Structure 1
């Protein structure tokens, strides 16, 4: 009888806690773009501001139920750029949301095959693909978790370096409420 009771408690409490933990750890979330991330500086020139407005409008139109949207253009002194844009809000299926977001961006950035990037965090998923934008080679990476979804467009970086940088940006931009 004791064994049945313990098994019942494990099934009734343990399973929901196991599957629900990433949700309550990752949602709700807010986003704030810092002025500096690693060697990247947030750009505030007119061209960057125009890009930010366009990206935010595009993200808002694609994700009508998002809590909030954000976008920013970062650059290094050496000319590498990282453009990041996304949303905060609840995502029940972050793995498929990451795949869908990168698929949505495929025609805009002429992306090749998506590659899954391991994150080692339950509920957090990342994908990247190589493409082109305005005649320049780019890497586009997307992350999704239960509280946020965002993409980064990187120039002059490898796919692996872009994926790592997206993780760094995520840690500096997204905070959990």
Structure 2
């Protein structure tokens, strides 16, 4: 198994972003900048997207994919498991549980940056997915981040991601939930970052690792749709 790659050196969320415009997701120097006297505060919509960017940077530290150890199985592993895992892919569907992909240019740029960083950071990945869904103006917004590839120890990858979430997004009360017909393990919990409440669910199986973050909602609300959403993101065979 190859050594896990180094996660992107994204800053930890919590600082104020510079005024005006969307900060590029791959410019950590823009995060944590000290407040300064200057132009008036940006509109509420723009400020809310800045918060979303900071939360995405935190997710990159955890998921990228926590430095997911994607590698070949040992010979002792079941051949069918290896084949199923190798044939697993992830993608960002046009809609997720009835929500269309977000069309806001700032959110699309952040999602593109998320995918780019995952492709850089995850070794031997076979596919990646990153996107936003819903309408932030209605406080109905989801983010997905996932990668596929043969996982040596999916339970460890899940546990490592949970540990990272506790630090980066203050996620607590992580508990096991039904992973659905695709199998593997899944956990959900409540988080908060930049003053935004978050419902967070993750899954890991021998072919993929993924995360769904629902902004402005609790894990209890996300759990009810988790299996449906995962089934629309992950495909086997």
What's the TM-score bracket when you normalise by the shorter of the two chains? 0.7 to 0.9
RMSD: 2.6
For residues 59-92 of structure 1, give each alpha carbon's deviation from its aligned partner in whole angstroms, at most 9, with x where no partner exists: 3455333222210101158431110001011113
Whether the 8 Å CA contact 2:91–2:127 is kept in 1: the answer is no
Q: How far apart in 1 are the matches of 2:102 and 2:180?
A: 31
Alignment match, 2:177: 117
> TM-score, with normalisation over the residues of structure 1?
0.76
Whether the 8 Å CA contact 1:28–1:90 is kept in 2: the answer is no
Greater fraction of residues in helix: 1
Structure 2 unpaired stretches of 5+? 1-75
Equivalent in 66, 69, 75 of residue 134 of structure 2: 75
Q: How far apart in 1 are the matches of 2:94 and 2:184?
A: 25
Alignment match, 2:164: 104
Q: How far apart in 1 are the matches of 2:99 and 2:223?
A: 15
- Displacement, 1:118? 3.1
Q: Structure 1 residue 54 and structure 2 residue 117: aligned?
A: no
The structure, 1 or 2, with the larger RCO (C-alpha pairs under 8 Å, 6+ apart) is: 1
Q: How far apart in 2 are the matches of 1:106 and 1:159?
A: 14
Equivalent in 81, 85, 91 of residue 151 of structure 2: 91
For the structure 1 residues 127 and 55, does the alpha-carbon distance in structure 2 shift closer, same or farther, using more than 3 Å as the test?
A: same
Q: Structure 1 residue 137 and structure 2 residue 137: aligned?
A: no
Q: How far apart in 2 are the matches of 1:53 and 1:102?
A: 24
Q: How many residues align?
A: 161
Greater fraction of residues in strand: 1
> TM-score, with normalisation over the residues of structure 2?
0.59
For the structure 1 residues 62 and 108, does the alpha-carbon distance in structure 2 shift closer, same or farther, using more than 3 Å as the test?
A: farther
Q: Would you identify which runs of 4 or more consecutive aligned residues in structure 1 move more than 4 Å?
A: 19-23, 120-123
Whether the 8 Å CA contact 2:127–2:148 is kept in 1: the answer is yes
